Structure 1
Amino acid sequence: MKKKFSFLLVLLLALSTFLAACGGGEDSSEEDSGDSGDKQEKKEQVLNLTESAEIPSMDTVLATDAVSFNVMNNVFEGLYRLGENDEPVLGMAAEEPEISEDGKTYTFKLRDAEWSNGDPVTAHDFVYAWQKALNPDTAAEYAYIMYDLKNAAKINAGELPVEELGVKAIDDKTLEVQLETTVPYFKGLLTFGTFMPQNQKFVEAQGDQYGLEADTLIYNGPFTLSEWKHEQSFQLSKNDSYWDAETVQLKEINFNIVKDVATGVNLYETGKVDLAGLNAEFVDKFKDDEDFMTNAETSVYFLRLNQKNELFANVNARKAIDAAYDKQGLVDVLLNNGSMPAYYLVPKDFVTGPDGTEYRETAGEFGGYDPEKAAEYWAKAKEELGKDTFEIELLNYDSESSKKIGEFLKEELETNLEGLSVSISQQPFKQKLDLETKGNYDMSYAGWGPDYPDPMTFIDMFVTGGSHNQMDYSNEEFDKLVQDAKSTLLSDEQARWDALVEAERILLEEDQAISPMFQQGKSFLQQEYVKDLYRHSFGADFSYKWTHIE
């Protein structure tokens, strides 16, 4: 998320307020904001933010991006939600579940909670949403994240009916969940958006309009999506029917969609927003300001190399691309925000292995900037393909920072790979995601944030036919390692860890399926009166349930 990391993570550079959303600025929360730019004492429980893109989807079973998951995390709630320090805390579950002796069956008791239309939240809402996500007719890209549920993979493949899924409503307030095998990170997984409930009666009444507007949704989280002006702004308002409404202090969260960093900074300096993301230029300007902050992230950005393209079907061409641009220069000059060059897929400082060693210390790094080696790979590729010139298109985001990165890549690749011509197609976020899903691109600047705390959240994206593969990559040995790590090796932690390390090595060192670019860092300005805004290293980027204005 996430952010899946984008997760995916995610998937845009956070150069407006860290992939967070933002909304309208008409309700000024300053005591006297004026136009002087002076800091004012803020008293109302209103938070003003920016977001870099429109919300692509508000259907929990269809969303795939960081922007959507961030909003959904704050207007919906699953069995658990992430609290401070990424700890899963009880959400719709009233208490910790009863777990069977073999660790495969969880029985949850649900609390008395309501949807924003007054309907009770029941166990049937979870059964309906989870079956919907896995129904092959839904074509949910994130269905695979539920494959730990009993029979989920077979149902998603059309081999079993959805009624055979290992989730059952014993009664309105009792949910039984059966797993294929034990899952060490299951509680964290249940915080993810795809595992949130849906009210079947309401969803079916909306038909194909469900989730397209603020009034074609109902909510069971701390906030409601009270206003949604597409491509302009959106607003969250406190949900008074939320079971823990007493904890929620913010009255409103306003998000304005701002794609230009300078505009976001100007809004911050004039008191119109409370947080503003920074790029290299503004980092230098504000690094000594008392509001300046940096935050290490677990999102990794990379180039997808679509093997449907004749050029990228060649491994030497892929290796040439990876070696032909300066990743250190990219983060030092263009980003300058705490990001670091990535010679890997699974990020640094994310998870540790069974022996307590950080994953990257065990797995090492791959590749590096080497124009001479890039030229050697390129010569081999041209010989093998029987051509001297190639034209490719880079699919890119439409933000200001992404444009600069695209221009940097074009110059580096055309300079170091003779005969290569790169054009750039900048697309709005939602359209870019759609083109990637359909495989209609040559090379794409993409990113991924973790959905749960395990290396698998990055590695299994690239299994053959995987919904997030999106580039026609396939390696039988890689697939087997991933499958074993999800099944037979779960009882042997070290062997499972070793399998994941080897799978990543095959992906990057052997096959160069993608070209990692950088691990994201964020530099930003944040008003000191904004308290307890929780930032997460996996799943949704932010939780506003506990945020308040001091």
Structure 2
Amino acid sequence: MKTKKYISLVVVLALLLTTLVGCGKESKTVDKGRKDEGQAVEQEIDSEQYLNLIMSAEPSTLDASKGADSYSNGILNNVLEPLTRLEEDKDLKNVLAPAGAEGWEHNEDGTVWTFKIRDAKWSDGEPVRAQDYEYGIKRTLKPDTAAPYAYLLAPIKNAAKVNSGELPVEELGVKSLDDKTLEITLESPTPYFLQLTYQRVMLPQRQDMVEKHGDKYGSEIDTLVYNGPFIISNWAHNSEMVLAKNENYWDADKVKLNNINVKILSDENAIYNSLANGSIDSTGVGKPEWIERFKGNKDLEQLEVINPSTFFMFFNTQDELFKNANVRKAFSLAIDREELADVIFHGINVPAYGWVSPSISVEDNEYRTLVEEPLKKLAEENKDPKALLVKGLEELGMDTDTSKLTVKMTLGSTDQWFRTYGEYVQQMYNENLGINFEVEFVEWPVFSSMVEKGEFQIGYMAWGAEFNDPISLLSLLKSDSGAIQTGWSNARYDELISLASKEMDAEKRLEYYTEAEKILLYDESVLAPTVYPRSNVFKYKYVNGLGVTPFGTSGYKYGYTQGR
């Protein structure tokens, strides 16, 4: 099974500048357009139903197994039907809804799941079968597919061994009992398993189409067939993609939009000007000056969404200095997160005092509303970070004169943003800890190599959760993960994550997560979270019903316009 890969902060910042789709809350006077709403529309919607949107890059491929970018994922969510969808109710709370599967059940210990595939058709009229979901999952795990997200399927029985080539794909715990029944057997009870059923790695694929088109599958519209709310009616590479309503879709009566015209445009100013002049209906905005400009436009509505990601500094716990927990705590608490968010991130991002970011839930409740961020308590108890540093130096038997201490942070980029960031952090540490703080700038491949070899003291990265459960982030620090290479290990932490990964009771699982995060940040301070990234989406007020939550997969399905 492939290991998780950490994300370059450069990539994260780029993704935050433009979002694939426009999002927004619905007007209170109209049908919400969501699954649980059946009321009639009080005011008539526009007779012509279309949206003009932007993607800032071409999808790499629409082969669900092989793609890894957010652009292709956004399109796939709209043209293929997963087993389930993570939709939103009228209060914008995520709800797991039946989609390709009309229902499911599991055995007593949660190791065998049975999905009832609904009566549905592909866009070419062929019936959707359980075998299509089985084939998609198995193809993703076959070693020669080289699927970048195959590791998400690790909970399935024999998935790791199939993906590594140790076992044939026939040994995978996925099989069709008949055309309408899909059975999935897990290695052990997995409480977050349903959070994987709407991921691209479990999307259905038609074996006849894959085999007919070979390496070209997913690269042109004539190599694809669809069972989602929309089909792709035109794909002018690096220019435009047009989606049209799929009349064969099982829930077509709920789909109001007839066309979505998605321009592919990478220049930020051109994108923002397109929104300003009304040639597109919605987009994400990352530049502070444009955010302020759009806030003043009475025709636009702003939506702020905290993303399920965390920007953070991390310490080499094998380093002579940073092997001490009090030293690490001092460097974590010496960061003025409020000031950092305001000055460096222009007030867009949110100060982070926890590892698990907002927007991540345990069952139906957002984790951060249930668990206090550990660093807030640590800061309350330690008003003077420098005193903690001195205490740590004493424990190490080192000179306690902090002015004689030199520490280096390594950043994985040489561009101007990182240089500004490095200079700001340098000033912050020099003032708050009275040390000599140095910053070195290297290209990302060099940085990755240095981290892998343990040739650093402090590093800086970002990571986003891949599915909606705290374990998506907390598991990265298990001693056998290798994802964030701090050199740290803690037997109790490992035990807690292992227990949580199999605990089906939500309250008990929450206890495990809470204790694990406390060990990570309050007790050991292995990481120093800095900010949670926040997206700003602007849409014209006539746009309604599009998904807004970070993990949601309803996409354009319930979208419509009223009063264009």
Smaller-chain TM-score bracket:
0.7 to 0.9
Distance apart, 1:169 and its partner CA: 0.9
Counterparts in 2 of 1:12-411, with a 5 A limit?
A: 12=13, 15-20=16-21, 44-85=48-89, 86-93=94-101, 95-156=102-163, 158-228=165-235, 233-248=240-255, 249-258=257-266, 260=268, 262-278=269-285, 279-290=287-298, 291-303=300-312, 305=314, 322-323=332-333, 325-336=335-346, 339-348=349-358, 350-351=360-361, 359=368, 361-366=370-375, 372=386, 388=406, 390=408, 392-395=410-413, 404=417, 406-411=418-423
Question: SS of the residue aligned with 1:281?
Answer: helix
Distance apart, 1:342 and its partner CA: 0.8
Q: Distance in 2 between matches of 1:142 and 1:99?
A: 25
Identity of matched residues, %: 32
State the match for 1:517 in structure 2. Answer: 530
Distance apart, 1:196 and its partner CA: 1.0
TM-score (norm 1): 0.76
State the match for 2:438 in structure 1. Answer: 420
Opposite residue 474 of structure 2, the aligned amino acid is I
Distance apart, 1:547 and its partner CA: 0.6
Distance 1:351 1:108, change over 3 A: closer
Unaligned runs of 5+ in 1: 23-40
State the match for 2:27 in structure 1. Answer: none
State the match for 1:482 in structure 2. Answer: 497
Distance 1:161 1:245, change over 3 A: same
Distance 1:270 1:520, change over 3 A: same
Opposite residue 299 of structure 1, the aligned amino acid is P
- Could you tell me whether the CA contact under 8 Å between 1:450 and 1:537 is conserved in 2? no
- Could you tell me whether the CA contact under 8 Å between 1:136 and 1:156 is conserved in 2? yes
Q: Distance in 1 between matches of 2:82 and 2:236?
A: 26
Q: Distance in 1 between matches of 2:545 and 2:530?
A: 31
Question: SS of the residue aligned with 1:534?
Answer: coil
Distance 1:126 1:506, change over 3 A: same
Opposite residue 177 of structure 1, the aligned amino acid is I
Distance apart, 1:170 and its partner CA: 1.3
- The C-alpha deviation readout for 1:448-487, integer Å capped at 9, x for no partner, is 14512x3222212333454855777655443332112112
- Could you tell me whether the CA contact under 8 Å between 2:57 and 2:264 is conserved in 1? no
- Could you tell me whether the CA contact under 8 Å between 2:53 and 2:260 is conserved in 1? no
- The C-alpha deviation readout for 1:5-56, integer Å capped at 9, x for no partner, is x9x9x9456654435389xxxxxxxxxxxxxxxxxx9864221223344434
Distance apart, 1:409 and its partner CA: 1.9
- Could you tell me whether the CA contact under 8 Å between 1:393 and 1:441 is conserved in 2? no
- Could you tell me whether the CA contact under 8 Å between 1:125 and 1:200 is conserved in 2? yes
Distance 1:333 1:264, change over 3 A: farther
Q: Distance in 1 between matches of 2:223 and 2:70?
A: 21
Opposite residue 214 of structure 2, the aligned amino acid is G
- Could you tell me whether the CA contact under 8 Å between 1:305 and 1:444 is conserved in 2? yes
Q: Distance in 1 between matches of 2:47 and 2:372?
A: 49
Distance 1:497 1:522, change over 3 A: same
Opposite residue 45 of structure 1, the aligned amino acid is Q
Q: Distance in 2 between matches of 1:420 and 1:378?
A: 20
Distance 1:124 1:269, change over 3 A: same
- Could you tell me whether the CA contact under 8 Å between 1:351 and 1:358 is conserved in 2? yes
State the match for 1:36 in structure 2. Answer: none
Unaligned runs of 5+ in 2: 24-44, 431-435
- The C-alpha deviation readout for 1:318-357, integer Å capped at 9, x for no partner, is 7676456543123334545663211112124643689x89
Distance apart, 1:72 and its partner CA: 1.8
Distance 1:474 1:70, change over 3 A: farther
State the match for 1:457 in structure 2. Answer: 472
Q: Distance in 1 between matches of 2:509 and 2:117?
A: 34
- Could you tell me whether the CA contact under 8 Å between 2:242 and 2:261 is conserved in 1? yes
State the match for 2:29 in structure 1. Answer: none
Distance 1:482 1:533, change over 3 A: same
Distance 1:178 1:222, change over 3 A: same
Opposite residue 172 of structure 1, the aligned amino acid is D
Distance apart, 1:263 and its partner CA: 3.4
Q: Distance in 2 between matches of 1:523 and 1:506?
A: 33
Distance 1:391 1:471, change over 3 A: closer
TM-score (norm 2): 0.74
Distance apart, 1:118 and its partner CA: 4.7
Q: Distance in 2 between matches of 1:411 and 1:378?
A: 25
Question: SS of the residue aligned with 1:525?
Answer: strand
- The C-alpha deviation readout for 1:474-533, integer Å capped at 9, x for no partner, is 55443332112112x435x44432222222233334554443232233333211111111
Q: Distance in 1 between matches of 2:155 and 2:291?
A: 43
Distance apart, 1:545 and its partner CA: 0.8
Opposite residue 192 of structure 1, the aligned amino acid is Q
Q: Distance in 1 between matches of 2:450 and 2:279?
A: 35
Count of paired positions:
508
Q: Distance in 2 between matches of 1:314 and 1:200?
A: 53
Question: SS of the residue aligned with 1:237?
Answer: strand
- Could you tell me whether the CA contact under 8 Å between 2:22 and 2:546 is conserved in 1? no
Question: SS of the residue aligned with 2:133?
Answer: helix
Deviates more, 1:343-352 or 1:160-169: 343-352
- Could you tell me whether the CA contact under 8 Å between 1:149 and 1:178 is conserved in 2? yes
Distance 1:372 1:451, change over 3 A: same
- Could you tell me whether the CA contact under 8 Å between 1:353 and 1:359 is conserved in 2? no
Question: SS of the residue aligned with 1:263?
Answer: helix
Distance apart, 1:214 and its partner CA: 4.5
Distance 1:159 1:525, change over 3 A: same
State the match for 1:29 in structure 2. Answer: none
Q: Distance in 2 between matches of 1:474 and 1:363?
A: 24
Question: SS of the residue aligned with 2:254?
Answer: coil
Query: Is 2:560 the counterpart of 1:545?
Result: no
Opposite residue 536 of structure 2, the aligned amino acid is S
Opposite residue 422 of structure 1, the aligned amino acid is E
Distance apart, 1:77 and its partner CA: 1.4
Which protein shows a greater Rg?
Answer: 2
